[in-house]
C-alpha cells in the first residue's frame, strides 16, 4: 500500500496525527533527539498541540530533545562523536517525567507546570576544551526567535555571506541511480545514525558538489529549521536533490549536522507531482529539518549537494515513473546554478547574527547582515 501511495493523498491525510492536533485533548511528554528519525515530526507535533490543541492540551505539553539518535538517550557516544557527560538524559529530567505522570494521573500538586515546557540540548564541538554549547537550554515555546540568515553557494566550492554576482558559473555532475551516494549517518533507525564524517564515502565522489565557508573567527550558534533553496536543472524528467549540512573540524573531519531531500516532481506540492522539462531551470526548496548547534571558532561550515542518499531514501531512477514502477533508469546531468539572478543558498536560523562576520562582505559595516 505504501509503494502505491507516493503522493500525499487522502489516505495519508487521514492517518496524520499532526492534522488532528487541533482536535486533541491529551497532555503529552515528548522525547526525541536531533539525530532521531522522528525528530522533526515530534517537534511539529509538540508545537501544534502546545499552541493549537484543545484547551486540555494547549499549553500543557512538555518536550526534551537531546543530541541523540533514536533510543540512545543514556549514552554519550552518538555516531562518531562523543558528547560530554551532561548530554545523556539527566536525573532531574527523568524525575520531571515521573512528576509529569504523577500530576496528570494521580493529581499530585508538584508544580510540574511551573517549569518551561521545553528543554533542548545545544550541541557544540566535541572534545574541544571550553567549546561553547554542549549545554541544556529551557524555552517557553518553539521555534526559537532566530534570524534566517543566508550563506550563498559560489564558484570554486565556496560558501559565503556575499550574494553572487552575475558572472558566477554553475556546477554539473552525473547522477547514476545504480551507483547512489551512500547514507553515512544522519537521522536513521535501522542503520547507523548520528554525526558521521562525510569525507571518504560522500564528499570525495565526483557526483557530490561541496561548498565550504571560511574559517570561523567567532563561534556561530544556530537553532531551528535549516532550509536550502537551489536553482537547478536536470536532463531528466525527474530527479532528487540531497543537501547535507556539516561542521568541519580543524583537523578536517566533516561531521554531519543535518540533511534533507527534495524529489523534483514534488517541488510545488506533495499532493500533485509535476514532471520537469529537461534542461529548464527551477527553484527547489529542500527541508533539512531542525537542529541546535554552535559551530566553534576555528571550524568551517560545509554544504554538499548530490542526488541520492541510499538506503535512507529510495534512489530516484530519473524516469518520472511512479515509485518503483520503472523498468529502466536514466543517468542525467544535474546542474546547480549560483549567479546573480539564481542565488542558490542555505538559510540558517542564526542567534544574534548581527555580531558575526561570516555574513558580512568586506565592504559591509559591522551592523549589516544579508538576510533572505
Residue pLDDT, tens place only, 141-153: 999 999 999 999 9
Concatenated DSSP letters of 291-349: EEEEEPTT-EEEEEEES--BTTSPPP-SS-PSTT--SS----EEEEEEETTEE-EEEEE
Q: Which H/E stretch holds residue 149?
A: strand 147-154
pLDDT at residue 228 tops 50:
yes
- Which residues on neighbouring strands pair with residue 334, listed in sequence order? 173, 234
pLDDT at residue 127 tops 90:
yes
Nearest one of 68, 138, 21 to 291, comparing CA atoms: 68
353: confidence class by pLDDT, cuts 50, 70, 90: low
Length of the chain: 372
CA distance 322 to 302: 33
Q: How does pLDDT run across 231-243, given as a tens digit for each residue?
A: 999 999 999 999 9
Q: What is the CA radius of gyration of the chain?
A: 21
- Chain position carrying cell 518520472: 320
Q: Is the pTM of this model over 0.85?
A: yes
- Which residues, at least 6 apart from 223, have a Cβ–Cβ distance to it below 8 Å? 120, 122, 143, 144, 146, 291, 292, 293, 349, 351
The answer to whether 312 and 186 have CB atoms below 8 angstroms apart is yes
* Domain positions in the chain: 13-139, 147-359
- CA 342 from centroid of its chain's CA atoms: 23
- CA 356 from centroid of its chain's CA atoms: 22
C-alpha cell at 322: 511512479
Q: Of 3.50.80.10, 1.20.1070.10, 1.10.10.1800, 2.60.120.260, which CATH number belongs to 147-359?
A: 2.60.120.260
* pLDDT for the residue 362: 46
The answer to whether 177 and 317 have CB atoms below 8 angstroms apart is yes
Q: ∠ CA 244-245-251 to the nearest 5 degrees?
A: 115
CA distance 78 to 35: 9
Q: How does pLDDT run across 208-222, given as a tens digit for each residue?
A: 999 999 999 999 999
Q: How does pLDDT run across 278-324, given as a tens digit for each residue?
A: 999 999 999 999 999 999 999 999 999 999 999 999 999 999 999 99
pLDDT at residue 204 tops 80:
yes
Q: ∠ CA 20-25-28 to the nearest 5 degrees?
A: 95
CATH number of 13-139: 3.40.50.1820
Amino acid at each position: 500500500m505504501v509503494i502505491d501511495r507516493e503522493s500525499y493523498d487522502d489516505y495519508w491525510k487521514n492517518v496524520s496525527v499532526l492534522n488532528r492536533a487541533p482536535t486533541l485533548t491529551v497532555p503529552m511528554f515528548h522525547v526525541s533527539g536531533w539525530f532521531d528519525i522522528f525528530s522533526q515530526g515530534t517537534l511539529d507535533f509538540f508545537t501544534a498541540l502546545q499552541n493549537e490543541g484543545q484547551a486540555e492540551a494547549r499549553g500543557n505539553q512538555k518536550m526534551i530533545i537531546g543530541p541523540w539518535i533514536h533510543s540512545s538517550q543514556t549514552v554519550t557516544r552518538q555516531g562518531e562523536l562523543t558528547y560530554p557527560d551532561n548530554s545523556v538524559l539527566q536525573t532531574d529530567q527523568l524525575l520531571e517525567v515521573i512528576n509529569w505522570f504523577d500530576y496528570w494521573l494521580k493529581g499530585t500538586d508538584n508544580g510540574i507546570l511551573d517549569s518551561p515546557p521545553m528543554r533542548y540540548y545545544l550541541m557544540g564541538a566535541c572534545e574541544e576544551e571550553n567549546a561553547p554549547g554542549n549545554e541544556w537550554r529551557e524555552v517557553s515555546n518553539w521555534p526559537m526567535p532566530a534570524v534566517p540568515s543566508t550563506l550563498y553557494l559560489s564558484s570554486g566550492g565556496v560558501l559565503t555571506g556575499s550574494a553572487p554576482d552575475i558572472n558566477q558559473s554553475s556546477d554539473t555532475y552525473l547522477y547514476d541511480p545504480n551507483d547512489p551516494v551512500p547514507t553515512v549517518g544522519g537521522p536513521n533507525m535501522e542503520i547507523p545514525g548520528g554525526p558521521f564524517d562525510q569525507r571518504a564515502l560522500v564528499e570525495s565522489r565526483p557526483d557530490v558538489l561541496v561548498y565550504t565557508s571560511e574559517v570561523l573567527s567567532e563561534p556561530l550558534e544556530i537553532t531551528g529549521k535549516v532550509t536550502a533553496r537551489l536553482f537547478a536543472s536536470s536532463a531528466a524528467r525527474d530527479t532528487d536533490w540531497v543537501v547535507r549540512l556539516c561542521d568541519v573540524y580543524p583537523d578536517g573531519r566533516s561531521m554531519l549536522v543535518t540533511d534533507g531531500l527534495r524529489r523534483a516532481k514534488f517541488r510545488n506540492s506533495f499532493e500533485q507531482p509535476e514532471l520537469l522539462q529537461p534542461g529548464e531551470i527551477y527553484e527547489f526548496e529542500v527541508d533539512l529539518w531542525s537542529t541546535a548547534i554552535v559551530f566553534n571558532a576555528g571550524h568551517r561550515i560545509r554544504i554538499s549537494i548530490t542526488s541520492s542518499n541510499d538506503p535512507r531514501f529510495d534512489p530516484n531512477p530519473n524516469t518520472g515513473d511512479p515509485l518503483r514502477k520503472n523498468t529502466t533508469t536514466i543517468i542525467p546531468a544535474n546542474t546547480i546554478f549560483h549567479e546573480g539572478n539564481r542565488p542558490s543558498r542555505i538559510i540558517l536560523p542564526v542567534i544574534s547574527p548581527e555580531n558575526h562576520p561570516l555574513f558580512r562582505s568586506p565592504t559591509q559595516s559591522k551592523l549589516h547582515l544579508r538576510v533572505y
